[in-house]
Structure 1
Amino acid sequence: MDEAPDTRQLLSTRIEQKQQAVRSYLGRERPRRNKLSNISVVGSALAAMLTAGPAFGGTGFTEALQGIFSLGDDSVVWRVLCLLAVLLSVAAALATNFANSHSLSDRVSAAETVNAQLEGLQDTLSFGHIAVDDALKLYQQYVAQVAFVDEVASR
């Protein structure tokens, strides 16, 4: 391949464009991954807590809640606790499945890795410590790992 400065610059520009696309992807998907993970963990924990009271406290627990909330029947306490536990469990299961069905965590990790690799490649290329042919091969290897990342439209 041509070692001319314009060839090196062209590859450098491509690297920058891919980095921009990867950073844009990470900016969208990291918060989504974190939100789904938090919903899953918090929903599961709260569902467990809602069922732990009656499980450990028995009728004394439900009667105490009945008195606190001035309910006529302790079965209302059971129904409300069970309904809330079911809703939280469903939310946690959905969040987990949405994250897993799209391999969100794996994709975000791959994008983070490629972003770091492209940054290193860009630095190496900029300082002339790598031949353009070698840099192009590395670039192709790196971007193949994030084929799911769409290019950012030029502004």
Structure 2
Amino acid sequence: MDDTSDTRQLLSNRIEQKQQAVRSYLGRERPKRNKLSNISVVGSALAAMLTAGPAFGGTGFTQALQGVFSLGDDSIVWRVLCLGAVLLSVAAALATNFANSHSIADRVSAAETANAQLEGLRDTLSFGRIDTDEALKLYQQYVAQVAFVDEVPAR
């Protein structure tokens, strides 16, 4: 491959386009990853809290809740606590499994790494610290790590 400034600029433009696509991907997927992670953690913690009261306080705890909410039967307290724990546990399990089945965390990490690598490559290329053939090989390696990232459509 020739090492002219036009070729370097062409490769630099391709690097920038791929970085735009990766940044766009990260802008969509980071919030999704964070939301699923938060649902999983908070759901699990709240489910544990709903079961901790009766586990540690026993009938005294449920009778106290029965009195606070003016319920006729303490079995209603047990049912509500159990139903809440089940619903929160299911939400946490679904969020965890959805995130894992789509490898969201792994893909976001790969995209973040590739974005940093492409940034470094673009800088190195623009300062002439690397020949074009070597830069192209590195570009192909970095892009292969994020094959799941679609190109950003031209505007």
TM-score band (shorter)? Answer: over 0.9
2:144 matched to which residue of 1?
A: 144
1:8 matched to which residue of 2?
A: 8
State the distance in 1 between where 2:131 and 2:35 align.
Answer: 42
State the distance in 1 between where 2:144 and 2:3 align.
Answer: 24
1:64 matched to which residue of 2?
A: 64
1:32 matched to which residue of 2?
A: 32
State the distance in 2 between where 1:27 and 1:122 align.
Answer: 21
Letter of the aligned partner of 1:14 in structure 2?
R
1:129 matched to which residue of 2?
A: 129
Q: How does 1:93-104 map to 2 (within 5 A)?
A: 93-104=93-104
State, as a whole percentage, how many aligned pairs show the same letter: 88
Q: Return the TM-score normalized by structure 2.
A: 0.99
Q: Deviations over 1:37-69 (max 9, x none)?
A: 000000000000000000110000000000000
TM-fit CA distance, 1:154: 0.7
1:51 matched to which residue of 2?
A: 51
1:117 matched to which residue of 2?
A: 117
State the distance in 2 between where 1:4 and 1:60 align.
Answer: 82
Q: Return the TM-score normalized by structure 1.
A: 0.99
TM-fit CA distance, 1:4: 1.2
SS at match of 1:19: helix
TM-fit CA distance, 1:6: 0.8
Letter of the aligned partner of 2:118 in structure 1?
L
Moved over 4 A (4+): none
TM-fit CA distance, 1:106: 0.5
Matching of residue 23 in structure 1 with residue 20 in structure 2: no
After superposition, the CA RMSD in angstroms is: 0.4
* Unaligned ranges ≥5, structure 1: none
State the distance in 2 between where 1:27 and 1:70 align.
Answer: 48
TM-fit CA distance, 1:5: 1.0
State the distance in 2 between where 1:3 and 1:145 align.
Answer: 26
* Unaligned ranges ≥5, structure 2: none
The count of aligned residue pairs is: 155
